Amino acid sequence: MTAHKMLDEKFYSKLLGEELDLIICLPPDFSPLYKYPLFIVQDGKDYFQFGKLARHSEELAVNEQIQKAIFIGIPYKTVMDRREKYHPDGEQNEAYIRFLAFELVPYLEERFPSFQMPTSRFLMGDSLGASVSLKAALLFPFTFGNVILHSPYVDDAILTLAEKADPAKVKIYHIIGDQETAVETTGDEILDFLSPNKSLEQILTSRGFDYYFRVFNGDHRWKYWQPFIKESLQFMLPVNTFDLESMRA
């Protein structure tokens, strides 16, 4: 297989007041003449390194099990920087979500040919990266129509958002480990992730979201998330999800 085209870029966010790194993964046969769905991935470096996201997405696309897409990874600078941006109570959480919706999406859609509609935009993350992805999708469903969650941190604020959100607007893939009952966090706490995730599942199921949920056998580590990368992409982006219309005039 021909390898993905990987681009390293810098983006200055006025909302955050800082420059962020972007890792952009284009399909091997990328052409500006065609439109592509966009995946915005929190913990971006981890997804490419530990989740093998580029390899898995390429294999699925070549085998016509998913549609070709562009993946945009956003690496975190430090553990504390990650917490401030991703945690629901983080000082930069609201600004980071607004950056995703109001700065990054317009930039990407000017930079690359895309479908420019909520159903063609995907957010993806693990742990706190999943939390901020879900929060962004629930707050801005007219921007983000899909979200992939690998063991999200779930608190009462996120449960309340799920209770109020329009289930017709957001498609969700969600997994959690059956051993995630004592997770060590970057805030020096040991928390039960499993119970609040099950509460989230009950809300999303009862409210009728387009939703996949699974409790896997394992804990809060990439060792257990990585095998579900392919499944999450296949659920979210089956082949022929979008008409690959030409961009030619």
Which parts of 31-156 are beta strand (E)? 38-42, 70-74, 121-126, 146-150
In this prediction the pTM is 0.95
Please provide the CATH number assigned to the domain covering 3-234.
3.40.50.1820
Task: Give the amino acid at 108.
Answer: L
Q: pLDDT-based confidence at 244, cuts 50/70/90?
A: low
Taking only the tens place, the pLDDT of each residue in 47-70 is: 999 999 999 999 999 999 999 999
Strand, coil or helix: what is 176? strand
Q: pLDDT-based confidence at 249, cuts 50/70/90?
A: very low
* Tokens, residue 137: 């999708």
Are the CB atoms for 118 and 112 separated by under 8 Å? Answer: no
Domain boundaries, the chain: 3-234
Q: So what's the pLDDT on residue 186?
A: 84
Measure the CA–CA gap between 95 and 16, rounded to whole angstroms.
Answer: 6
Taking only the tens place, the pLDDT of each residue in 218-227 is: 999 999 999 9
Q: pLDDT-based confidence at 188, cuts 50/70/90?
A: confident
Measure the CA–CA gap between 18 and 76, rounded to whole angstroms.
Answer: 12
CA dihedral 183, 155, 230, 51 (to 10 degrees): -50
Taking only the tens place, the pLDDT of each residue in 73-125 is: 999 999 999 999 999 999 999 999 999 999 999 999 999 999 999 999 999 99
Parallel, antiparallel, or unpaired for β 183-184 and 190-191?
antiparallel
Torsion sign over Cα 48, 93, 150, 205: negative
Are the CB atoms for 130 and 150 separated by under 8 Å? Answer: yes
Q: pLDDT-based confidence at 231, cuts 50/70/90?
A: very high
Question: Residue 247: is its pLDDT beyond 60?
Answer: no
Measure the CA–CA gap between 61 and 73, rounded to whole angstroms.
Answer: 19
Q: Calculate what percentage of the chain has a pLDDT beyond 90.
A: 91
Are the CB atoms for 234 and 27 separated by under 8 Å? Answer: no
Cross-strand partners of 145: none
Question: Residue 3: is its pLDDT beyond 90?
Answer: no
Measure the CA–CA gap between 183 and 229, rounded to whole angstroms.
Answer: 21
Q: So what's the pLDDT on residue 43?
A: 97
Q: pLDDT-based confidence at 4, cuts 50/70/90?
A: confident
Cross-strand partners of 150: 126, 175
